[in-house]
Chains A and B, each alone.
Chain A
Amino acid sequence: DAMVIQNPRYQVTQFGKPVTLSCSQTLNHNVMYWYQQKSSQAPKLLFHYYDKDFNNEADTPDNFQSRRPNTSFCFLDIRSPGLGDAAMYLCATSRVEGNTDTQYFGPGTRLTVL
């Protein structure tokens, strides 16, 4: 089945130690997104790629970076994780068709910062 895959599902890192989360998709969608979701809160968009074009949300900290080497893969790099970065990180994809699109989410990676 076509899907959005996130690895790992659980990631533990130390304060200040760089970490990379990965996302892959078999849907051949042209847009990929990264969201941060903290406990009992709604998801918050960090950035998205429309094909190769990177779009950063204005309030996304510089500590968060992203790479999309090809259509199928997208990475979230946290350069120096702080305790406040502990959260669920969600990857989503969509295909723009006409004047609408639908985002499909992966299962998420839960990040713990020690």
Chain B
Amino acid sequence: DAKTTQPPSMDCAEGRAANLPCNHSTISGNEYVYWYRQIHSQGPQYIIHGLKNNETNEMASLIITEDRKSSTLILPHATLRDTAVYYCIVRAMDSNYQLIWGAGTKLIIKP
């Protein structure tokens, strides 16, 4: 079973920051938080991952709460091309390489 809970859908205006929440209250100390997205009819795309510290790359920022029970993916300036299903996944290296996918959040960017 998925270890994460995400809202099923969200809207965001083009050019604004999209903030996607994820709850992972049962996360273990050795589990990382990964974010992927899947644009319609394409393969999933890796976005970012982190363990304890906040992370930023060219695509997004990942904010992890101090107790690590939740996180937020931030797309700083959303564009129409960011419309996709966003998956938050927690994973440990001893998990037999399994990514346990939840239902994800359908993010719709509106002009």
Name A residues whose Cβ lies closer than 8 Å to a Cβ of B. Answer: 4, 6, 31, 33, 42-45, 48, 50, 55, 57, 88, 90, 92, 94, 96, 99-108, 110
Q: Are A104 and B46 in contact (CB under 8 A)?
A: yes
Chain B residues within an 8 Å CB radius of A99: 30, 93
Question: Interface residues of A: mostly helix, strand, loop or mixed?
Answer: strand
Range class of the B interface residue count: 20 to 34
Chain A residues within an 8 Å CB radius of B103: 42
For the complex formed, measure the closest distance between the CB of A21 and the CB atoms of chain B, giving whole angstroms.
13
The 5 closest A-B pairs by CB, nearest first: A42-B101, A105-B43, A105-B44, A99-B93, A108-B43
For the complex formed, measure the closest distance between the CB of A112 and the CB atoms of chain B, giving whole angstroms.
14
- Total A-B Cβ pairs within 8 A: 52
Roughly how many angstroms separate A98 CA and B97 CA in the complex, as a whole number? 14
Chain A residues within an 8 Å CB radius of B49: 100, 102
Q: Are A50 and B45 in contact (CB under 8 A)?
A: no
Q: Are A42 and B42 in contact (CB under 8 A)?
A: no
Roughly how many angstroms separate A43 CA and B42 CA in the complex, as a whole number? 12
The listed residue with most A CB atoms (<10 A of its CB), out of B43, B51, B98, is: B43
Other-chain residue from A55, A100, A110 in contact with B96 (beta carbon distance below 8 A): A55
**A100-B49, A105-B44, A108-B42 are contacts. A42–B87 as well, Cβ < 8 Å?**
yes
